[in-house]
């Protein structure tokens, strides 16, 4: 049997979980961090990817910090889900996909209509109070206003915008996991249950080098899941893949599920 047909037959049995990384959103206009045009070409990750480094930049070069944050939010604001996001949402609607475990922070799975999305690294559109844990999420208008104000903020206003005050007296921050921070334990726990029970795991656009997220495919394999990888380049996880499609997500997924492909 052709590989594509074999994969389709496995996925149609249902009980599928997808694990996605930056690669699935690359064709939506969000560059992978490490790839060409990625943010780490312009900002040193040793400084900009952790709390201490970011805080240091904020104190010494607040507008450089603002530009870094602005670039993130503008990129996400301009991005729209692509075929791969929509096909995963359609698979869920048809009852063959149980959940998506994503390392992305861009909200594009939800925008495409996916409901059961486990976010291992948070979501840029959500802010969380560091004291009482209350959450706020931007809608389209809220995001636009945030970007507008960010562009015009004075140094003091920048702090109030990025770390707004909560009613409890604490401060909100963007709800994303930076280097050195631990993953949200509830989400990570749910992800383990999902992959442990899955019949197959679709690995899409993840390099498999960011830990502890990268332990999940190994756990799935140990628990009997068939591993199907979609990525234009081989990855650190390819050796545990039962099937590998060396193609972009928005090309490979429509090949497997022509009939689920949305007209975009
Ligand atoms: P990564 O940057 O380490 O790897 C991206 C992978 O995607 C690579 O293996 C690459 O070959 C593959 N890829 C590139 N284009 C693709 C395409 N069109 N279709 C399928 N695959 C493609 O990404 P990662 O493993 O997700 O780890 C990066 C970390 O950075 C994650 O923690 C994530 O939170 C964060 N990140 C998120 C976003 C986002 O939210 N969109 C973007 C960049 C980085
Ligand atoms: Zn609070």
Give the integer Cα–Cα distance in Å for 204 and 32. Answer: 13
- In this prediction, residue 46 carries a pLDDT of 87
Distance 169 CA to ligand 2 centre (A): 6
Of the chain, the end-to-end C-alpha distance in Å amounts to: 30
Supply 10's token pair: 């496995």
Contact 124, 105 (CB under 8 A): yes
pLDDT profile of the chain (264 residues), mean per 10: 88 96 95 79 86 87 91 94 96 96 98 98 96 95 96 90 94 91 93 98 95 96 98 96 96 86 60
Task: Answer positive or negative: Cα dihedral of 165, 168, 169, 173.
Answer: negative
Contact 252, 230 (CB under 8 A): yes
- In this prediction, residue 263 carries a pLDDT of 56
Label the pairing between strands 97-102 and 16-20: parallel
User: Does any ligand 1 atom lie closer than 6 A to the CB of residue 229?
Assistant: no
- In this prediction, residue 105 carries a pLDDT of 97
User: Does any ligand 1 atom lie closer than 6 A to the CB of residue 235?
Assistant: yes
- In this prediction, residue 44 carries a pLDDT of 87
Distance 237 CA to ligand 1 centre (A): 13
- In this prediction, residue 11 carries a pLDDT of 95
Q: Which of 31, 32, 180, 232 to mutate to test the pocket of ligand 1 (most atoms within 8 A of CB)?
A: 32
- In this prediction, residue 260 carries a pLDDT of 66
- In this prediction, residue 37 carries a pLDDT of 74
Q: Sheet containing 200-204: which strands, arranged edge to edge?
A: 117-119, 97-102, 16-20, 200-204, 226-230, 243-245
- In this prediction, residue 133 carries a pLDDT of 95
Contact 47, 53 (CB under 8 A): yes
| Dihedral pair phi/psi, residue 243, rounded to 5° | -135, 140
User: Does any ligand 1 atom lie closer than 6 A to the CB of residue 241?
Assistant: no
Q: What is the pTM of this model?
A: 0.94
- In this prediction, residue 234 carries a pLDDT of 95
Distance 205 CA to ligand 1 centre (A): 5
Ligand nearest to the CA of 169: 2
Residue owning tokens 């628990």: 223
SS3 string of the chain?
Answer: CCHHHHHHHHHHCCCEEEEECHHHHHCCCCCCCCCCCCHHHCCCHHHHCCHHHHHHHHHHCHHHHHHHHHHHHHHHHHCCCCHHHHHHHHHHHCCCEEEEEECCCCCHHHHHCCCCEEECCEEEEEEEECCCCCEEECCHHHHHHHHHHHHHCCHHHHHHHHCCECCCCCEEEEEECCCCCCCCHHHHHHHHHHHHHCCEEEEECCCCCCCCCCHHHHHHHHCCCEEEEECCCCCCCHHHCCEEECCCHHHHHHHHCHHHCCCC
């Amino acid at each position: 049997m052709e590989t594509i047909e074999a994969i389709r037959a496995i996925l149609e049995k249902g009980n599928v979980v997808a694990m996605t990384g930056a690669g699935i959103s690359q064709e939506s206009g969000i560059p992978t961090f490490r790839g060409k045009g990625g943010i780490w070409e312009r900002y040193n990750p040793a400084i900009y990817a952790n709390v201490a480094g970011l805080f240091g930049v904020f104190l010494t070069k607040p507008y450089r910090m603002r530009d870094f944050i602005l670039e993130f939010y503008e990129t996400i604001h301009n991005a729209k889900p692509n075929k791969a996001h929509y096909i995963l949402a359609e698979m869920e609607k048809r009852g063959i996909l149980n959940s998506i475990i994503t390392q992305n922070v861009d909200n594009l799975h939800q925008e495409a209509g996916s409901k059961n999305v486990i976010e291992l690294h948070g979501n840029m559109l959500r802010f969380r109070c560091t004291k009482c844990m209350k959450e706020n999420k931007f809608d389209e208008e809220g995001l636009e206003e945030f970007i507008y104000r960010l562009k015009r903020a004075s140094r003091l206003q920048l702090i109030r915008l990025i770390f707004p005050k909560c009613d409890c007296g604490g401060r909100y921050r963007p709800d994303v996991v930076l280097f050195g921070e631990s993953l949200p334990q509830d989400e990570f726990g749910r992800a383990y249950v999902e992959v442990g029970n899955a019949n197959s795991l679709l690995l899409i656009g993840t390099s498999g080098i960011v830990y502890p997220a990268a332990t999940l495919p190994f756990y799935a394999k140990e628990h009997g899941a068939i591993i199907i990888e979609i990525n234009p380049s081989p990855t650190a996880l390819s050796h545990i893949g039962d099937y590998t499609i060396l193609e972009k997500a928005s090309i490979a997924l429509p090949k497997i599920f022509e009939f689920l492909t949305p007209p975009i």
